[in-house]
Amino acid sequence: MISPASKSIASGTHAGGPLSGVRIVEFAGIGPGPFACMMLADMGAEVVTLDRVGARKNLKSVSGRGRKVVEIDLKDRASITQVLDLLTHADALIEGFRPGVMERLGLGPEVVQEHNPRLVYGRMTGWGQQGPLAQVAGHDINYISVTGALAAIGGAERPVPPLNLVGDFGGGALYLVVGVLAALLEATKSGKGQVVDAAMCDGAASLMSMFFDMAATGRWTETRESNLIDGGAHFYGVYECACGKFISIGSIEPQFYALLRQLAGLSEAEFDAQMDRKAWPVLKQKLVDVFKTRTRDEWCRIMEGTDVCFAPVLTMTEAPLHPHMAARKIFVERHGVTQPAPAPRFSRTPSAIRETEMADIASLTSEWKRGR
């Protein structure tokens, strides 16, 4: 299924990313699908994005980086034939439409896999391909609402949306990437592709595994800001400084907590009972007062680089300038846009940000056919 170019990875001769030689056709969408394809493209896969005619105006999009973009009318039967010809030579397909849309276009899994039995068919949705809500519109906030995740995040007064990191990207895109890669690996043994049903509600629920475990053993309550790592504990949270900026501490382990007490001057005996939940609200207020006595920069000079488990809370503008982030080149500039560098890192076949460019489907199909 995977083209000959990718086989050279095993021989140690190819340095174009660990997925070099893998060919993926992406049907343009928003959110988790493009993010998943960004990761796959960064890792060396050749990703071809099929977009509406005239829709692709910005070839410098961060989540759209590293693609060959083909504008095509999927309502045109001749265009569908061209897409099927391209998919005949692909390793994977990724789409994020509502269930049934690809089937109505004539590009459902059964049709496509008749042309290419080894193709991995990745489907990205919020509610999944089946179930009472499968055809209902939704967004990240809705998908994480039904998993228990949103109810557990935020202050005591109300849940707070954690951006769209939990549903779209954590529970959606990353599970899609894992699923597609696992199916590609299995296809090298079986010679058969399969459908990967990646639903954000599935992934977000999976991300909650540790908390369901903690709840089952009495270590987690459903009251927000009353638990170890939800802002309830005085030694794990975010505090405002004298300058109005914030710092974070996560001094859970006894030795780290002892260092926190030493550096913050918390000598009172009441801080001895670190794990006394009843004392947490009072001790938290004391820390609120302590951290407001100095600026964020002053606390950085006292605590950063120690085992307190401390960090300044940085904005997106500030983050690339932090010494650690800069030393690891975690952010890079491309076409005048500051953006996260590819992750994770590979020692022998490094990922890289590749150019996004317009392409012609007939030429691509011919190229892919010759490469097999």
Q: What are the catalytic residues?
A: 139, 168
Kindly give, in sequence order, each residue whose CB lies less than 8 Å from that of residue 18, ignoring residues fewer than 6 positions away: 9, 43, 44, 346, 349, 351
Closest CA to 234 of 198, 269, 176, 273: 273
Quickly tell me which residue has 């820390």 as its tokens. Answer: 287
C-alpha to C-alpha distance for 41 and 85, rounded to whole angstroms: 22
Kindly give, in sequence order, each residue whose CB lies less than 8 Å from that of residue 69, ignoring residues fewer than 6 positions away: 48, 49, 51, 56, 59, 356, 357, 358, 359
C-alpha to C-alpha distance for 276 and 261, rounded to whole angstroms: 16
Q: Is residue 320 reached through a cis peptide bond, with omega within 30 degrees of 0 on the bond before it? A: no
Helix 77-87 / helix 361-371 crossing angle, nearest 10 deg: 20
C-alpha to C-alpha distance for 164 and 142, rounded to whole angstroms: 10
